[in-house]
């Protein structure tokens, strides 16, 4: 049976088994819930019409606004794409490789989306007592040393994790498991629009002491930043109320989107760093509700606040958010597509149709505009590679790890190369459109209309979300994809370095044009040079396809394989690390080793 069909059949069975429980519980508590809702609405109405006063210390925060703030990227920017547990596994290996090369200290910023943000956030805020080598795993330079089963060496055994290893996250997750947990939490009284971020907290962050439902925390950049920018204006807050990055970690940019209307193709890019959160570009009267958006950032601990008072310079007093904006909240917003997919693919009761997170938001560009509760969307719904945030900061050297699930292959019918949509849209092309079930059923690559406007004809209406993503010259696309295909044919790592690349103005993403000195693409792909060195037992499992232990390797399904085994996680992480540290030369530019190409990005 096809794995997707089986997966969704199991999901349907799980949801069906608990629907009766939900309805029964809802009927029993209907009166109490309605009374509580009425009281909450009354309190909210009072709060919305009453600005905070100087004597109301317990109910407000004073936050900094960073209007039209523009960070200049220093060092090397590293981007980790979306892709659920597949991307988390890849990212673990890629961080392992960069650490092995001794270059993490020269990384100026990490930009991440969705599953890439799970891994990057865990890495950034990892508690001091957890060792990095255990967390990321040990590099193995020779794939022949890997064993399918444990034979006394954890580092090389695919069926073992080191203590506190990041990979355990992927073994904790699962669509059916999380669907059942969402229902359980909802029956227990967790608000519907808190369900997804709550589950991300429980399954992704709690195993690393970064989520505690009884004692939620904010996050900040450092003790010095906290003392200078936060506590001075908010003496009731202490550093114990905040997660602080592990020493030596780079800036972390987690990307997500705001949507004026649920299900709308109109998305606006948001980001959160250790220091600030919000929307950099200003969008005056540009959303569906004719309201302003963007214009700068605020302190993250003020995100989700409402009823701001008149500002005093760059300070503004706001009512405390109902929930603390925490590390798990940001990653939950960045990975909201999983919640959306879950709702679309399963039959939930009507009252459980809003597990996609919503938060209050007000624009820095217009603080007089009342706060509104907005829908938020997965970071990858607009720009999945996470490169845009680095281009916005004008980094001169960027490594883009594209941990996608689309094999780079040849479209015989149209005589062109197939690559993942997250790459195509950056060059102004619509995603590769499949028109049927046959392998050859593809339309030719087609660029987005020049100066695209809503309503312009596209191959699919859903592509409108990506119409503003063009940051590179479309004329480069066909030659670039052909170089990627040649790398696949030669059996090496799909890594390609571009130099003196002109970045185009992209107002919707908040980016200005400049010349990017170096951009290195490292794309998740089958690598013959790696596979050929594996022991026979592992090769047999890979060759068995869907019936083997490594179905779809290395292109694990984003939704259907949200749950991965230890062996699946480890094999993909080892491949991803090997791509960074190996002395492979197959197909590489100028015949250089993989590791030397990576190291050249830090010159």
- Provide the residue ranges of all domains of the chain, joining segments of one domain with +: 58-449+458-602
pTM of the predicted model over 0.75: yes
CA distance 314 to 63: 8
Q: What is the dihedral of CA 443, 447, 449, 452, to 10 degrees?
A: 110
pLDDT for the residue numbered 55: 38
The answer to whether the peptide bond before residue 371 is cis (omega within 30 degrees of 0) is: no
pLDDT for the residue numbered 9: 53
3-state helix, strand, coil in the chain (%, to 5): 40, 20, 40
Q: Give, in degrees to the nearest 5, the angle at Cα 470 between 468 and 473.
A: 155
CA distance 557 to 549: 14
> How many CA within 13 A on the CB side of residue 78?
29
CA distance 22 to 66: 44
Q: Judge whether 219 and 242 are in contact, CB under 8 Å.
A: yes
pLDDT for the residue numbered 262: 64
Q: Is 134 exposed, middle or buried (0-12, 13-18, 19+ CB in 10 A)?
A: middle
DSSP labels, 452-517: --TT---SSGGGGGGTT---S-GGGHHHHHHHHHHHHHTTS-EEEEEEEEEEPPBGGGTB--EEEE
Q: Strand 107-113 to strand 251-259: parallel, antiparallel, or no bridges (unpaired)? A: parallel
pLDDT for the residue numbered 353: 66
Structure-block tokens of residue 480: 């670039």
CA distance 291 to 304: 17
pLDDT for the residue numbered 42: 42
Structure-block tokens of residue 82: 């979306």
pLDDT for the residue numbered 31: 46
Give the residue ranges of the chain where pLDDT is below 70. Answer: 1-57, 262-264, 287-288, 344-354
Structure-block tokens of residue 217: 């925390």
**Helix 175-187 with 3-49: angle, nearest 10 deg:** 30
Q: Judge whether 248 and 75 are in contact, CB under 8 Å.
A: no
Structure-block tokens of residue 178: 């999380």
User: Using CA of residue 464, residue 466, residue 472, residue 475, what is the dihedral sign?
Assistant: negative
CA distance 27 to 422: 45
Structure-block tokens of residue 282: 């200003």
Q: Is 597 exposed, middle or buried (0-12, 13-18, 19+ CB in 10 A)?
A: buried
Q: Is 543 exposed, middle or buried (0-12, 13-18, 19+ CB in 10 A)?
A: exposed
In CATH, 58-449+458-602 is 1.10.3470: no
> How many CA within 13 A on the CB side of residue 239?
10
Nearest to 558 by CA among 137, 1, 7, 78: 7
CA distance 184 to 179: 9
DSSP labels, 326-337: -HHHHHHHHTTH
User: Using CA of residue 507, residue 511, residue 517, residue 521, what is the dihedral sign?
Assistant: negative
Query: Phi and psi (nearest 5°) for 370?
Result: -60, 145
């Amino acid at each position: 049976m096809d794995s997707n069909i089986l997966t969704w059949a199991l999901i349907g069975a799980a949801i069906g088994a608990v629907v009766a429980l939900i309805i029964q519980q809802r009927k029993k508590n209907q009166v109490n819930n309605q009374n509580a809702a009425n009281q909450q609405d009354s309190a909210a109405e009072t709060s919305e019409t009453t600005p905070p006063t100087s004597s109301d210390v317990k109910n407000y925060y004073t936050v900094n606004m960073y209007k039209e703030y523009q960070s200049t990227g220093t060092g090397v920017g590293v981007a980790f794409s979306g892709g659920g547990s597949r991307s988390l596994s890849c990212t673990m290996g890629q961080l392992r490789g960069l650490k092995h090369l001794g270059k993490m200290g020269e990384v100026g910023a990490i930009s991440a989306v969705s599953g890439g943000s799970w891994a990057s956030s865990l890495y950034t805020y990892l508690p001091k007592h957890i060792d990095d080598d255990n967390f990321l795993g040990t590099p193995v330079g020779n794939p022949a040393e890997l064993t399918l089963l444990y034979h006394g060496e954890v580092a090389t055994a695919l069926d073992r994790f080191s203590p506190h290893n990041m990979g355990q996250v992927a073994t904790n997750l699962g669509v059916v498991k999380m669907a059942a947990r969402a229902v359980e939490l909802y029956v227990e009284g967790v608000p519907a629009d808190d369900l997804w971020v709550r589950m991300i907290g429980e399954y992704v962050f709690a195993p690393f002491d970064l989520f505690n439902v009884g004692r939620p925390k904010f996050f900040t950049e450092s003790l010095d930043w906290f003392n200078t920018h936060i506590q001075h204006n908010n003496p009731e807050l202490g550093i114990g109320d905040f997660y602080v990055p592990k020493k030596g970690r780079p800036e972390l940019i987690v990307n997500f989107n705001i949507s004026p209307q649920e299900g709308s193709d109109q998305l606006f890019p948001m980001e959160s760093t250790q220091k600030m959160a919000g929307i950099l570009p200003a969008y005056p009267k540009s959303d569906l509700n004719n309201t302003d958006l963007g214009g700068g950032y605020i302190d993250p601990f003020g995100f989700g606040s409402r009823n701001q008072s008149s500002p005093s310079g760059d300070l503004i007093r706001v009512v405390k958010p109902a929930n603390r904006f925490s590390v798990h909240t940001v990653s939950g917003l960045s990975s909201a597509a999983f919640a959306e997919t879950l709702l679309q693919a399963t039959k939930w009761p009507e009252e459980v149709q809003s597990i996609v997170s919503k938060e209050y938001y007000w624009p820095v560009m217009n603080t007089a505009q009342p706060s509104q509760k907005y829908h938020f969307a997965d970071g990858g719904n607009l720009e999945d590679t996470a490169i845009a945030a680095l281009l916005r900061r004008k980094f001169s050297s960027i490594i883009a790890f594209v941990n996608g699930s689309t094999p780079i292959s040849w479209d015989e019918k149209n005589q062109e190369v197939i690559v993942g949509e997250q790459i195509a849209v950056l060059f102004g092309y619509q995603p590769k459109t499949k028109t049927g079930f046959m392998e050859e059923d593809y339309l030719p690559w087609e660029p987005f209309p020049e100066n695209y406007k809503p309503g312009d004809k596209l191959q699919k209406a859903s592509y409108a979300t990506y119409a503003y993503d063009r940051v590179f010259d479309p004329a480069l696309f066909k030659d670039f994809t052909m170089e990627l295909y040649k790398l696949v044919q030669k059996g090496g790592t799909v890594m390609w370095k571009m130099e003196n690349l002109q970045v185009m103005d992209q107002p919707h993403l908040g980016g200005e044009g400049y010349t990017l000195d170096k951009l290195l693409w490292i794309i998740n792909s089958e690598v013959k040079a790696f596979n050929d060195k594996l022991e026979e037992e592992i090769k047999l499992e890979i060759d068995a396809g869907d019936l083997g232990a490594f179905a779809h390797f290395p292109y694990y399904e984003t939704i259907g394989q949200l749950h991965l085994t230890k062996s699946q996680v480890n094999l993909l992480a080892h491949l991803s690390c090997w791509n960074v540290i190996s002395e492979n030369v197959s197909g590489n530019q100028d015949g250089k080793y993989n590791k030397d190409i990576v190291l050249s990005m830090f010159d």
